[in-house]
Structure 1
C-alpha cells in the first residue's frame, strides 16, 4: 500500500493558526473575566485560569505536534537537497528532529502546567511555576537552536545564491534571541512568588515588568512566523508512505497481494489450487 501526501504546507499553516487562535481566544476570555489586565499580560497568565486554560493547553499541544512533524519533514528535505553530501550539513540536519522534539516537549510541559493553578496546600512556586518555566526555557533554547541550524544549512547549500528563506530565518532567529533574553532579563525570577495568582483579584505585576511581557509576546509571535516559514519549502515536496507486508515463513496466514486494478490497495488472496496432472 502506498500513500502520497502532497499538501505538506498545510502542516505549518495548521500549527501557526492553532497557536494564534488559541492565544488570542485565551487572552480575550481572560480579559473579559477579569483574570488579567488588558494591557500586555504574560501569555501564559492569560491562558492560566479555567476555562481558557483548556483552550490554551489544547492549542499549544496541537502546535507542538505540527511543529514536531514539520521538523521531521524538514530533516528529510535536508537529506534530499544535500546532493553534494556536505558533511557539516549532514550532521547538522540530524540535530533538526532533536531540536524539534525539545521545542515541542517544552511547549507541552508549559501548557500542562497552567500558572493560574495552585496546589491544595496553597503552594505554587515549585509544583507549578518551576516546571512551567523549565518548559518555556526548553522551548526557547531548542527553537532558537533550530532556527540557527536551518539558517546555517541554507547558507551552505545555497552559497552565493541565498533564497529569501535564508534571510527570513536569520531575521527571525535574531529577533527571537534578543526578545527571549529580554523576557528573562526583565522578569523577576529572583522573586517569582510576586507572579503568583491572587485568589480574589486580577493578577497584579510588579513595576517595570512591561518590557518582559512585551518581549514574551514578540517571542511567541516570532515562533509562529518561524513555523509559517516552512510552508514555502513544504509546497515543493511530496511525502510518499509505503507499507509492505513482511512475510513470516512460520505463519499460516496467506500473503498480501495487490488488488486487481488498484496497485495502491492490498487484499488477501488465496493461491488457486494446482490442477492435478
Structure 2
C-alpha cells in the first residue's frame, strides 16, 4: 500500500499541496498580467482582478473544505486520545475545533468577497482566518504536548510549537503595519512613506499563511493511524 493511502493521511497531504498551489498560482497569474508587484504583494492582491480572482476564489473555497475535513479528523483523533480527561482535557480539544472551523469560515469569506469589491467584509474574513488560525495552532500545540507520548513524537510537538510561535509573532506586524498603509492600488509606489509598513505587513502575512500550511504538514504521520466511518441508522 502506498504511504498516502494509509489511514486518512491523504487529507493533510491534499490540503498542503492544494493550499500552496492556491497562493502560488494566483500570484504567478497576477504577476504575468502585471496586476501586482513582484515583491511580496498582499495575498488578497493576487486574487483581486479577474481571471486570477476566479481561480483564487475557487481554489480557496476548496482549501477551506479540505481544511474543515482535516480539522474535524484531527478533532476526532484527539477525542480518542482523551479518554482520560487528566491527559487531554476535552474542552481544550473542542475549543481548538471551534477556532479551526472559524478559520475555515474566514477563508470562505475571503474567497467570496474580493478586497476590491466589498473590502470591509473581505477584511473581516481575513482577520477571522488569521486570528482563529493562530489560536488553533497554539491550542493544537498544547494538545500535542498534553497527549505525549500518545499520538505525536516529541520532535513533532516541538516543531508544532515552533510553527505556532512563528505564526503568532508574524501575525502582529501583519495587522499593526496594515493600519499605517494608505495606498489602495494593487501596484504600490515604493516612494510613498507607507511603503515600508506595507512591505512588512505583506511579508508577515505570507509567513503566517505558510506557517499554517507547514503546521498541517505535521499531521500526515498522525493521520496514517486512523480512519473515520459514517454510520447510517434508519429513523423509526
TM range (shorter): 0.7 to 0.9
Counterpart-to-counterpart distance in 2, 1:7 and 1:47: 34
Tell me which of 167, 179, 182 is aligned to 2:173: 182
Which residue in the other structure is 1:228 paired with?
217
- Partner residue of 1:207 out of 189, 195, 205: 195
Is 1:79 paired with 2:79?
yes
Question: What TM-score, normalized to structure 1?
Answer: 0.75
- Deviations for 1:182-226, whole angstroms, at most 9, x for unmatched residues? 111222x2565x2245xxxx4546421211111111111111111
Once residues 96 and 224 of structure 1 are traced to their aligned partners in structure 2, the CA distance between those partners, rounded to angstroms, is 17
- Asked whether the equivalents of residues 87 and 147 of structure 2 are also in contact (C-alpha less than 8 Å), the reply is no
Distance in 2, matches of 1:157 and 1:20, equals 29
Shift of 1:9: 1.0
The residue that corresponds to 1:65 in the other structure is 65
2:28 and 2:58 map into 1 onto residues whose CA distance is 16
Q: Secondary structure at the match of 1:83?
A: coil
- Work out which of the residue numbers 151, 156, 163 in structure 1 matches 2:146: 156
Q: For 1:107 and 1:43, locate their aligned partners in 2 and report how far apart those are by CA, in whole Å.
A: 12
Cα drift, residue 88 of structure 1 = 5.7
Pairing 1:130–2:115 present: no
In the alignment, what sits opposite 1:30? 30
- Does the 8 Å CA contact 2:107/2:125 hold for their aligned counterparts? yes
> Secondary structure, in 3 states, of the residue corresponding to 1:50?
coil
- Supply the distance in 1 between the matched residues of 2:25 and 2:189 (Cα, whole angstroms): 21
* Number of corresponding residues: 227
How large is the Cα RMSD of the aligned pairs? 2.2
Instruction: Name the SS for the 2:229 alignment partner.
Output: strand
Deviation at 1:45, TM superposition (A): 0.3
Note closer, same or farther for the CA distance 1:88–1:9 as it changes in structure 2 (3 Å cut): closer
Gaps of 5+ in 2: none
Residue ranges of structure 1 left out of the alignment (5+ in a row): 119-127, 249-277
Asked if the contact 2:102–2:129 (Cα under 8 Å) also holds between the matched residues in 1, the reply is yes
CA distance, structure 1, for counterparts of residue 215 and residue 56 of structure 2:
19
Following TM superposition, the consecutive aligned residue runs of length 4 or more in structure 1 with deviations greater than 6 angstroms are none
1:114 positional shift: 1.5
Q: Whose strand proportion is higher, 1 or 2?
A: 1
User: Would the aligned equivalents of 1:68 and 1:97 in 2 still touch at CA under 8 Å?
Assistant: no
CA distance in 1, matches of 2:32, 2:106: 29
Post-superposition CA distance 1:83-130 (Å, at most 9, x none): 323276211011132111110011111121222x34xxxxxxxxx221
Q: Is 1:8 the counterpart of 2:8 in the alignment? A: yes
Q: Is the 1:144–1:173 contact (alpha carbons within 8 Å) kept by the matching residues of 2?
A: yes
